[in-house]
Homo-oligomer: A and B are copies of this chain.
Amino acid sequence: MSTDRFTRKALQVPAAQELVLSHVAAGHTELISTVTSDRRTLAETVQAPHDYPAFRRSGMDGYAVRAQDTVPDDGELPWLEVIDDVPCGAVPKEAITAGTAARIMTGAQVPEGADAVVMLEVTEQHVENGRKLVTVKKPAASGQHITPIGFEIPSGEVLLKPGRLIGPGELSVLATFGVHQVNVYRKPVVGIFSTGSELLDITDPLEPGKIRNSNTHMLAAQIVEAGAEPVVMDAIPDDIELAKAKVEEALKAYDLVVTTGGVSVGDYDIMGDLVRSGSMDMLFNKVAMRPGSVTTAAVQDGRLLFALSGNPGACYVGFLLFVRPAIRKMLGMPKDKLRLPSWSAKLGRAYTKVNNFTRFVRGTLEVSDGQVVAYPAQLDESSVMVTIKDSSCLIIIPPELKGASEGTEVNVLLLPGALH
């Protein structure tokens, strides 16, 4: 078995991502109340059930008139009799006919017969013999300040498509059209555990030779951001039988399982050994990337197991490159939204490390004079966990570059939420 450990075949990142995604499908759906659907992913097409606006809507506070009645007659300003007052939400009581007008508010329904709204500011009001009159000081054009029925959205128009992440703008649209229940994809439940006899719990005092288990807590937050629900299980010591039992149990209970640690090429490669033991189908156990070259993925009965590196930096990147796209596909998101957004940028500082594998270097993104500039973090060893919190992008340094000088054109992957 130790031969296998050393003769792993490294996949390129895009090929490994494709392989993972080919084993994932959109998950189950559920009908929920729209007011609780923020950050959920839509599982249906939503079409406009009616025109919007559903009535001819006034765009101004003023008077609804017939445009032809506002033209001065022989230099004489026209005056019109005010026969109605239409606040928002009201139904006009009377139609506008020659010589009449209705007081109207922004957003209110324009009465039948009127074909224009004139602003309050271009009118003068007076009362004559108990009759309310209005003088229009500037002729109106037909249609002015009236939003026609269906102008914003005609009935039947597709408002939202399946796979759409619901946020403030989507909620505005759904509420506007009275869509008070929506089908969304069920959140995948993701089981997480760490392996390693060196791991202490976050509440444990430090012991010689040991470190605290930090990756599961980091992963839990990453899983929430990805749109799924994390379940953190206890860490297990380096014991292949225990790991096997735990993975079997987790793959039965959860939609996806992520482990961290136990995938080195050393003697305690328990997750690697487990994946190679034949109880599941290995997708890959080496990826041509730094950090995280030992990232391993397998599938059992249609459920994915990701065995990520125990190095915090490698674990972080491995999650974003492989697990996050899988979760997003389970959430029914479209193909072009599965991976992290990729931008072109200029390198703001030289990055001189050379590697046979593509490097995903944590860095920060700045925009200077409309130009995107990416600065690699100063410390970039895979074990250095402190730079994760300060990064806004992963800078892709392919091996062909053999290091990269300041100003080199690179591609960067935007980290979730990092620009706010």
Contacts and interface: CB of A to CB of B under 8 A. Distances in A.
Interface of A: 6, 34-35, 38, 50, 53-55, 57, 59, 61, 86-92, 103, 105-109, 120-121, 147, 152-153, 159-160, 167-180, 196-200, 202-206, 208-215, 217-222, 224-225, 232, 237-238, 264-268, 310, 312, 316, 340-341, 343-346, 367-372, 379, 383-391, 409, 414, 416-417, 419-420
5 contacts: A61-B266, A87-B197, A88-B238, A105-B266, A345-B367
Contacts of A205: 178
Contact of A214 (B160, B175, B215): B175
Given A88-B238, A264-B61, A169 B345 contact: no
A152 B54 contact: no
Given A107-B310, A178-B203, A180-B202, 7 more contacts: A87-B197, A88-B268, A89-B209, A175-B214, A179-B202, A371-B371, A372-B372
Given A211-B176, A213-B175, A169 B34 contact: no
Given A208-B55, A341-B420, A221 B87 contact: no
A92 to B, nearest CB: 8
Contact of A391 (B169, B208, B345): B169
Contact of A367 (B172, B343, B386): B343
A176 B221 CA distance: 15
A38 B202 CA distance: 15
A385 B168 CA distance: 11
Given A176-B385, A367-B372, A388-B172, A196 B88 contact: yes
A404 B268 CA distance: 63
A153 to B, nearest CB: 6
Nearest to A86: B209
A41 B219 CA distance: 19
Nearest to A262: B88
Nearest to A328: B420
Contacts of A159: 386
How many copies make up the complex? 2
B370 A212 contact: no
Contact of A178 (B176, B179, B212): B212
A210 B198 CA distance: 65
A267 B87 contact: yes
Contacts of A178: 200, 202-206, 212
Contacts of A220: 35, 38, 171
Contacts of A57: 383
Contact of A371 (B91, B109, B370): B370
B175 A202 contact: yes
A391 B167 CA distance: 11
Given A198-B88, A238-B88, A167 B417 contact: yes
Given A417-B420, A420-B416, A89 B198 contact: yes
Contact of A89 (B91, B147, B210): B210
A388 to B, nearest CB: 4
A209 B387 CA distance: 56
A388 B107 CA distance: 19
Contacts of A153: 386
Nearest to A310: B107
Contacts of A316: 168-169, 172
A256 to B, nearest CB: 17
Contacts of A38: 220-221, 224
B414 A420 contact: yes
B107 A217 contact: no
A212 B175 contact: yes
A61 B211 contact: no
